[in-house]
Amino acid sequence: MKDKKPLNTFTIKRNLRKVYSPRLFILVACLVGLYFFVGTTHISFGSSKPIAPIDTDDGTIKYAANLLEEVRSKINANGNEVPQDMKIPFSWKQFLSLDKEIEAKKKFYAELNCVKLAGLIGKPTNTPFNCVEDPTDREVPIVVKQNILLYLYPEFRTVMKTIHMSKTYTNPDSVVLLTKDSSYKFPVDPNPQKIKSKGASIENVVSSLQGLVAKNSKKSAEDSFPSDEAFQVLDPKYSQFASKYIDEKQFDFEETLQLFPANSKIAKIHAATEKLGNDIPKYFTEAYTMDVPMASHMDWRFFDSKKALDFNVKSEILHRLMRAWLHFTTKIAHIDTWVSHGSLIGWYWNGLHLPYDSDIDMQISVGGLLKLIQGYNNTVILDYTDADSGVYNSFYLDIGPYFGARGRGNSKNLIDARFIDINTGILIDITAVSSMSVTEAEKLKAKEGELSPFEKQELLKASAEGEQVIYDKNYHFYRLGQINPLVPTKLENEVAYVPNNFEVLLKSEYPEMDKSYVKGFKYRKNLRLWVGTDESSGCKVENVIIDTVLEDDQKCVETNKLVSKRFHATEAATKRHQLQLKDLRAATDFKDYMLTSKPNERRVLLY
């Protein structure tokens, strides 16, 4: 059974005619008219154009500065020692500047009730709507406990997010601060608390905080499972950039689970969810938005239509997301992660993400997933590694509770974890890979559908050689030798890893991976970039089937400022990728493969 898709605009209109009476339509029309009359600036009912919610970037940075100043003050007050059992205050409402959003549309939110909201968003009667009245709150007198699987206009996506995140969503377990030289983990008080503005400067606070906490905090050990409680200075150790083998045991869910005591966070969650069997609800839900297909790949809790749907902003956020994820997993969490699916195609072509792709795909072992759950699930990550360039990022790591269900089940929870940009909802989909016997794999695939010739051949090969078979929840099967050893490379100019048999895996999953024209983008081989064919100013393509010629590519760069900027920002990185890909194709053994990366090559790509 596949996940039920949200309703589209035509279904909404049809159902509204069936369900709601003419009187209700008049009421809704009056409400919308009143909404415009009182000066609520963000609603444009029926408009397909994305409407800008209040900008939260500056607010997020200011809040983070005040949050870290609070930490610094507590340490100072305790004789420059980190207080035992210190938990820092936190409020999603304040962090995401939702209080400003509510204040700007004060009358609208104050007069909301569940019936009004259902009418505004066009909710059919048979669509679940977890809305509850809250008369004790005059500011926002309703609670929205979860997403509604319905296509909404962008402005109503903002309304749903605002109500849910400001009133229902629980605090993170911890906040991790990443700086250029070191990283710190702060446990968070579970009770939402606002922080008074102290006018703190983020640069000054981070600088002074580093010196204070480095003196008296314990480091997390690379090879042990991290604590989910204690304040820590995290080990910023760098990768050796050598090929690496993942221990087979890391793919065995049951064996890895035994490493955690019965009272651990993982054991408790697993015990609670195991009873549900395959009848488990969908955990991750998306920002289904009218006329915007790519929004269905973005997290509804943090979705910002203006920023997330802007092509150049999206490219920049995806770039930063990738850098932060690789930095976090390699140097902080110490787990192995590798590029997969659509992102592996992007890497294959030019070492960058695909511009027509809305998210990033990464894989980890199930052992790596359990390690993340124990130490870093439900964590806000303040990534200030590029603060020298004035870049401050905020991300959120969220892992679904149904990690013990390693099969497809009802197809609602194929993604194990998400690494989300807090200011846009753009994300990395993370899937864990587990082991399975060849016999089990053959039985399972026979039940689900016919094996492809390639899958049959690979499973027979694994069976004959006694090799381990590994798979993800969506039943992508691999021989362990196709993954191991992982090969060091660069994605978005950051050191990453790919399966050693990447070309075979890609051709199996994407038979048409060599097409140079996809979804309105043409790969210009002389620029080593995918460029939109609808981009004017010298970049029009007459025939998308054949390769572009050097003269046309030069004209495109000379006359199109955005393409010129992208080309010059990525030129050196894509050239290095081209050379490495040639070496990888020629290699027969990756056991001792090394990636040489000079410090000045590992810089941010400024798109």
Question: 260-279: per-residue pLDDT in tens?
Answer: 998 888 999 998 888 887 77
Mention every residue, 6+ apart, whose C-beta is less than 8 A from residue 251: 365, 366, 367, 433, 434, 435, 468, 470, 480
pLDDT score at 231 = 54
Mention every residue, 6+ apart, whose C-beta is less than 8 A from residue 467: 461, 479, 480, 481
pLDDT score at 240 = 55
Reported as a single tens digit per residue, the pLDDT across 109-151 is 999 999 999 999 999 988 888 899 999 999 999 999 999 989 9
| Helix 502-509 with 341-350: angle, nearest 10 deg | 120
Q: Are residues 204 and 308 in the same domain?
A: no
Is the C-alpha dihedral spanning 19, 21, 22, 24 positive or negative?
A: negative
pLDDT score at 190 = 95
Evaluate whether 557 touches 563 at the Cβ level (below 8 Å). yes
Q: Are residues 183 and 255 in the same domain?
A: no
pLDDT score at 448 = 55
Please report, to the nearest 10 degrees, the dihedral formed by the alpha carbons of residues 229, 231, 235, 236 taken in order: 110
Three-state secondary structure call for residue 38: coil
Q: Which burial class, exposed, middle or buried, applies to 476 when counting CB atoms under 10 A from its CB (0-12, 13-18, 19+)? A: middle
Q: Which two tokens stand for residue 512?
A: 């048409």
Evaluate whether 92 touches 166 at the Cβ level (below 8 Å). yes
Asked whether residue 550 is domain-assigned, the answer is no
- Tokens 């709507």, located at residue: 129
Is the C-alpha dihedral spanning 518, 521, 526, 528 positive or negative?
A: negative
Our count of domains for the chain comes to: 2
Q: Which burial class, exposed, middle or buried, applies to 154 when counting CB atoms under 10 A from its CB (0-12, 13-18, 19+)? A: buried
Q: Are residues 202 and 329 in the same domain?
A: no
Rounded distance, CA 90 to CA 92, Å? Answer: 7
Q: Are residues 184 and 331 in the same domain?
A: no
∠ CA 462-258-366 to the nearest 5 degrees?
Answer: 45
Asked whether residue 158 is domain-assigned, the answer is yes
Task: List phi, psi (to 5°) of 69.
Answer: -65, -35
pLDDT score at 64 = 85
Averaged pLDDT for residues 95-112: 95
pLDDT score at 41 = 31
Mention every residue, 6+ apart, whose C-beta is less than 8 A from residue 600: none
pLDDT score at 449 = 57
Asked whether residue 234 is domain-assigned, the answer is no
Task: Specify the DSSP element, H or E, that contains 150.
Answer: none
Averaged pLDDT for residues 196-223: 65
Q: Are residues 176 and 40 in the same domain?
A: yes
- Which of 110-119, 326-335, 589-598 is predicted least confidently? 589-598
Three-state secondary structure call for residue 232: strand
Asked whether residue 551 is domain-assigned, the answer is no
Averaged pLDDT for residues 445-452: 60
Bridging pattern class, strands 393-399 and 379-384:
antiparallel
Asked whether residue 278 is domain-assigned, the answer is yes
Q: Which two tokens stand for residue 388?
A: 């020298």
pLDDT score at 24 = 42
Averaged pLDDT for residues 465-475: 85
Averaged pLDDT for residues 85-114: 94
Q: pLDDT at residue 388 above 70?
A: yes
Q: pLDDT at residue 533 above 90?
A: no
pLDDT score at 54 = 30
Is the C-alpha dihedral spanning 91, 97, 103, 107 positive or negative?
A: negative
Residue 194's nearest CA partner among 163, 171, 161 is 171
Rounded distance, CA 355 to CA 519, Å? Answer: 10
pLDDT score at 2 = 39
Q: Are residues 143 and 58 in the same domain?
A: yes
Rounded distance, CA 240 to CA 470, Å? Answer: 26
Q: Which two tokens stand for residue 516?
A: 């140079």
pLDDT score at 137 = 96
Q: Are residues 189 and 298 in the same domain?
A: no
- Tokens 């659509």, located at residue: 342
Q: Are residues 215 and 135 in the same domain?
A: yes
Where residue 515 falls among pLDDT bands split at 50, 70, 90? very high
- Which of 14-18, 168-172, 589-593 is predicted least confidently? 14-18
Rounded distance, CA 452 to CA 179, Å? Answer: 47
Of residues 436 and 433, more confidence is placed in 433
Residue 363's nearest CA partner among 469, 474, 465, 255 is 474
Average pLDDT over the chain, rounded to an integer: 82
Per the document, the length of the chain is: 607
Averaged pLDDT for residues 51-64: 57
Q: Are residues 314 and 455 in the same domain?
A: yes
Averaged pLDDT for residues 505-524: 92
Evaluate whether 531 touches 372 at the Cβ level (below 8 Å). no
Evaluate whether 169 touches 301 at the Cβ level (below 8 Å). yes
Evaluate whether 572 touches 469 at the Cβ level (below 8 Å). no
Distances (CA, A) of 200 to 41, 73, 443: 31, 12, 61
What are the DSSP E strand ranges found in 457-576?
469-471, 477-479, 487-491, 494-498, 517-518, 521-524, 529-532
Mention every residue, 6+ apart, whose C-beta is less than 8 A from residue 378: 170, 172, 173, 174, 397, 398, 399
Rounded distance, CA 164 to CA 418, Å? Answer: 19
∠ CA 148-361-236 to the nearest 5 degrees?
Answer: 110
Q: Are residues 273 and 190 in the same domain?
A: no
Where residue 179 falls among pLDDT bands split at 50, 70, 90? confident
Q: First and final CA of the chain: distance in angstroms?
A: 41
- Tokens 């065995």, located at residue: 252
Q: Are residues 214 and 276 in the same domain?
A: no
Q: Are residues 462 and 500 in the same domain?
A: yes
Three-state secondary structure call for residue 217: coil
pLDDT score at 280 = 87
Asked whether residue 225 is domain-assigned, the answer is no
Q: Which two tokens stand for residue 221?
A: 């050990």
pLDDT score at 442 = 65
List the domain range (segments joined by +) for residue 514.
248-521+570-601
551, amino acid identity: E
Of residues 385 and 262, more confidence is placed in 262
Three-state secondary structure call for residue 285: coil
Asked whether residue 528 is domain-assigned, the answer is no
Mention every residue, 6+ apart, whose C-beta is less than 8 A from residue 403: 269, 270, 366, 369, 370, 373, 416, 432
Of residues 108 and 64, more confidence is placed in 108
∠ CA 430-221-322 to the nearest 5 degrees?
Answer: 30
Distances (CA, A) of 548 to 353, 559, 560, 562, 563: 21, 16, 16, 18, 15
Asked whether residue 240 is domain-assigned, the answer is no
Rounded distance, CA 261 to CA 569, Å? Answer: 49
Residue 430's nearest CA partner among 407, 404, 403, 408 is 403
Of residues 310 and 123, more confidence is placed in 123
